[in-house]
Amino acid sequence: MQKKYFVILSIMIVGLFVVTSPTVLAITGEEVLDEVDKTLNSNTRRSEIKMTIVNENDQKRERTVEIVSKGDNKGLVQFLAPADVEGTSFLTLTEDGEENMWLFLPAIGNVRKIASHMRNGSFMGTDFTYNDISMLGGSDYRSDYQSNLAGEVEYDGKTCYLLESQPTDQDIQYSRMKMWVNKANYVPLKMEFYDQEDKLLKVMTNKNIKNIDGHLTPNEITMENVQAGTKTILSLSNVKYNVEIPDRVFTTRYIQQ
């Protein structure tokens, strides 16, 4: 009889532990990241982005780019304004996990292959790196980061999954990333990026989220460099999903035409 009570008590204790333990939340960090990628990705996407660069003295400069992406392996950024950078194009193609990048500068009139060190450089004077920008074109956080679910937290009045992520890609300059993902729709609302000394370097926030062609889309993305006191605000317009974009757009031939 005592043995029977012992078994029941054991099952209750284990059950209570299972129910209350954060390690057994209904979803894992990797699964959340999978859902984030599914939410942000589409077959094709085309958008126009106004980039406002704000320096530590609050001086502002504006640039306009068009970003076109297909799946998570083809991306093209073309500068539309101002005049001195108009026509500059940046092509990213990923094949078998290898990312290749080419830059076309109208002043040089030639397509130049660029090495992976550029990925961590400032994207045309903004607070975004080339790598950050390529994530906007077609998110693939799952293959670049290893994530753990740290718990559920409130952010901006919404319940969010908090992910603690470490880069698996050696070319990424950040030592780790924290991501606040809206539990209701898997849209990341905030990300923190830490430098190699584990100090907070940048904070990215997604605002003004709209449903466009069935895709939840942040229409205002801000990247703030907290160490430098600078920030870049991206304002999206003319966002279109699943439009026909021929493969020839993602070629070095196209970007120099």
Q: Which residues lie near another protein (CB under 8 A)?
A: 53-57, 59, 61-62, 82-84, 86, 98, 100, 102, 108-110, 112-118, 120-122, 125, 127, 171, 173, 195-196, 228, 230, 247-248, 251-253, 257
CB of 91 to another protein, least distance (A): 11
Q: Which is nearer to another protein, 33 or 68 (CB)?
A: 68
User: Of 20 and 170, which has the nearer Cβ to another protein?
Assistant: 170
Q: Which is nearer to another protein, 127 or 181 (CB)?
A: 127
**Please, which residue, 57 or 211, has the CB nearer to another protein?**
57
Closest CB to another protein among residues 32, 101: 101
- To another protein, the closest distance from the beta carbon of 235 in angstroms equals 15
Q: Which is nearer to another protein, 86 or 220 (CB)?
A: 86
Task: Using the structure block, give the residue that is written with the tokens 């106004």.
Answer: 50
Contacts of 56 (CB under 8 A, 6+ apart): 228, 229, 230
Residue burial 201-229, b: 16+ Cβ < 10 Å; e: rest: bbbbbbeeeeebeebebbbebbbbbeeee
| Pairing mode of beta strands 145-155, 89-95 | unpaired
CB of 79: closest distance to another protein in angstroms? 12
Residue 235 tokens, joined: 């304002």
Residue-by-residue DSSP string for 81-141:
ESGGGTT-EEEEEEETTEEEEEEEETTTTEEEEE-GGGGGSBSTTSSSBHHHHHHHHS--H
- Return the closest-CA partner of residue 123 out of 70, 166, 85, 161: 85
Half-sphere CA count of 201, side-chain side, radius 13 A:
14
The C-alpha atoms of residue 157 and residue 151 are separated, in whole angstroms, by 16
